[in-house]
Amino acid sequence: MRWTLLAVVLGFLLDLCFGDPRWLYHPVRIIGKGITFLEKILRNIFPKTKTGERIAGGFLVVGIVAASSFVPWLILHLAYGFRTWLGVALESFMCYQLLAARSLRDESKKVYDALQTGDIEKSRYAVSMIVGRDTQNLTEEGVTKAAVETVAENTSDGIIAPLFYMMIGGAVLGFAYKSVNTMDSMVGYVNDKYQYFGTAAAKLDDVLNYIPARLSAWLMIAGAWLIGMDGKNAKKIYLRDRRKHASPNSAQTEAVMAGALDIQLAGDAWYFGELHKKPFIGDSIRKVEMEDILRSHKLMYAGTVLSLVVFGLVRVLVCLFI
């Protein structure tokens, strides 16, 4: 624990410089395969009833979180026991793998690059790689909004929330959080297959993201002021629209992004061929344009750097006085 701050900072810097190490099999993919494997077993054990599926989903959460925490704990325990430098190096690399700032920027930049070519089909394909909604009928504005919204939401889920938990419990707690986040993305759907089975994962993800999502929003508001965006409107729209989403957390950073950019986000969207009615977030002070994707990157970086500084200072103070 004494080397946690150093490991998190080094991991953060590695992510900013290099992004996702695609040459290495990502641990989240391992977690995903574990979720699929355990789901099949649990569905064969428990009855296919409302209660049975909820219990099975609960066991899935316990099993995946336990495994995702124990394996990195064991590796780091052995590494630190052998040599401190080896433990720091491994934990730094683990923290690096748990963060997604550079990847989020790169993947959404592909959407911007596609939009610049004027090829709407290419743009729709690019954005389909980073969003869950149907994209085949999106207009240029719809593609842009989808990219900006995913940058806003993942600033919390993919960067600031992992930083928050890693500052508390290092890479081990970071992996525990990531396992819940991955389960929610795989089984947390409200559909015939996962309505009950995914309840535990979805609820736990809401709980774990409750504080980080709100911290992310305020840090992004502060970041908007610092980089010359509309911080005043970011705060206004956040306080007004932060609850305009079925999830208690998703609209938090989306509202800040809409306010800081002076645009309107969200609204109705299609998922798996079904129209979902959603309220708008933000005011249409100006028209959405493709450059808003690049502006969203600036706000993402401002918020994440601030989070690293603030969380790091809090950790130092806690270590000094407790």
Which residue type does 307 have? S
| Model pLDDT for residues 129-174, shown as the tens digit of each residue | 888 777 788 889 989 999 999 999 999 999 999 999 999 999 999 9
Residue 283's contacts (CB-CB under 8 Å, 6 or more residues apart) are 233, 237, 258, 262, 264
Let me know: does 310 contact 235? Beta carbons within 8 Å: no
Looking at residue 252, its pLDDT comes to 94
Report pLDDT digits (tens) over 80-124: 999 999 999 999 999 999 999 999 999 999 999 999 998 899 999
Amino acid at 155: T
* Residue scoring higher pLDDT (37 or 268): 37
**Cβ neighbours of residue 150 under 8 Å, at least 6 residues apart?**
104, 108, 130, 131
Confidence of residue 272 (pLDDT cuts 50, 70, 90): low
Domain spans, the chain: 4-321
